[in-house]
Structure 1
Amino acid sequence: MFELDLRSRKPIYEQLVDKLKELIINEILKPDEQLPSVRTLAQELTINPNTIQKAYRELETQGFIYSQQGKGSFVNPNNESRDAGKVNSIKTELEKLILEALYLGVKAEELIQLIENLNASKGGGDSND
């Protein structure tokens, strides 16, 4: 499915959360698709099942997945992860990163072009304004 960098300073569960969010956002994992079981994924990645469970809990808290007792975890089709608080949080973080990029000498035109390229490749997003 994917690989984790065991030498990274970033905790393994955070890497796992980021990878799964990327797969969900890019629609590689489809709505209501079942995720691998904790045990299966732990064996596949050769990491502790508790680490997988922690990542799944975090994804559920963020609204990317949901769990059904006895059945497993599934990709959330309701887009609960797009709530207003999350959007505002992302905008705030983006603002900080853009200001840092401008400070480091990245031209505004480059940033605009990057956004346009990402928007074109993703097919655009819904406007919440």
Structure 2
Amino acid sequence: MELRIDPDSAVPIYLQIVQAIKHQVATGRLKPGVQLPTVRELATDLRINPNTVARAYDLLDGDSVITTQQGRGTYVRERPDNAHLARVRQEQLKTLVDSAVGKALSLGYTADEIREAFDAQMARWTRKIKS
């Protein structure tokens, strides 16, 4: 499982892990039944505290994305229903926008400048998609 975190992000590391795993499940890169790395393995790979990974796994378990079987490991649950996938997608979008807006505000951009930049990018992407 490939997972990247940004230690400089405004998004806490445990939420970055949650979002990355949810995204991989939603896009089919992580299939139902696939075993995830142990808390210790993932923490070692990412060079973070195991408690951070455990917190992410707890949230994912609470959201019915993964299941932990005592003594056997942590696995991706069977594919959630469409309503759940829609919620996951909305959460991912909100997080992406929050991160971008947070970074722009911290760099001193005004709300109007940020809104204009988003609108301009959306217009460019819309034109690309239509062509």
Give the TM-score normalised by structure 2: 0.64
Q: Post-superposition shift, 1:34? A: 0.5
| 1:67 CA displacement | 1.1
- Other-structure match for 2:37: 36
User: Who is 1:76 aligned against?
Assistant: 77
TM superposition shift of 1:2 = 2.1
- 1:81 deviates by 7.8
The yes-or-no answer on 1:53 pairing with 2:60 is: no
For 1:80 and 1:60, the matched residues in 2 are separated by: 16
Give runs of ≥4 in structure 1 deviating > 2 Å. Answer: 80-83, 104-107
Structure with higher RCO (Cα < 8 A, 6+ apart): 2
The alignment status of 1:10 with 2:11, answered yes or no, reads: yes
Q: Say if 2:3 and 2:17, in contact at 8 Å, map to a contact too.
A: no
> In 2 relative to 1, CA 78–26 (structure 1 residues): closer, same or farther, beyond 3 Å?
closer
Do the aligned partners of 2:66 and 2:76 also contact (CA within 8 Å) in 1?
A: yes
Residue 10 of structure 1, CA deviation: 1.0
Would you say the 8 A contact 1:64–1:80 is kept in 2?
A: no
Matches for 1:22-33 after TM superposition, within 5 Å: 22-33=23-34
Once residues 62 and 69 of structure 1 are traced to their aligned partners in structure 2, the CA distance between those partners, rounded to angstroms, is: 18
| Alignment match, 1:120 | none
Q: How many angstroms apart in 1 are the aligned matches of 2:22 and 2:55?
A: 14
Query: Shift of the alpha carbon at 1:8?
Result: 1.1
Give, in angstroms, the shift of residue 78 of structure 1.
4.4
Q: Which residue of 1 aligns with 2:107?
A: none
Q: Distance in 2 between matches of 1:81 and 1:71?
A: 28
Q: Which has the higher helix share?
A: 2
Gap runs ≥5 in structure 1: 98-103, 118-129
Identical residues among aligned pairs (%): 34
Q: 1:55 corresponds to which letter in structure 2? A: A
Alpha-carbon distance between aligned partners in 1 of 2:17 and 2:71, rounded to the nearest angstrom = 22
> For structure 2, which runs of at least 5 residues remain unmatched after alignment?
98-114
The 2-side partners of 1:15 and 1:38 are apart by 15
Q: Is the 8 A contact 2:67 2:75 kept in 1?
A: yes
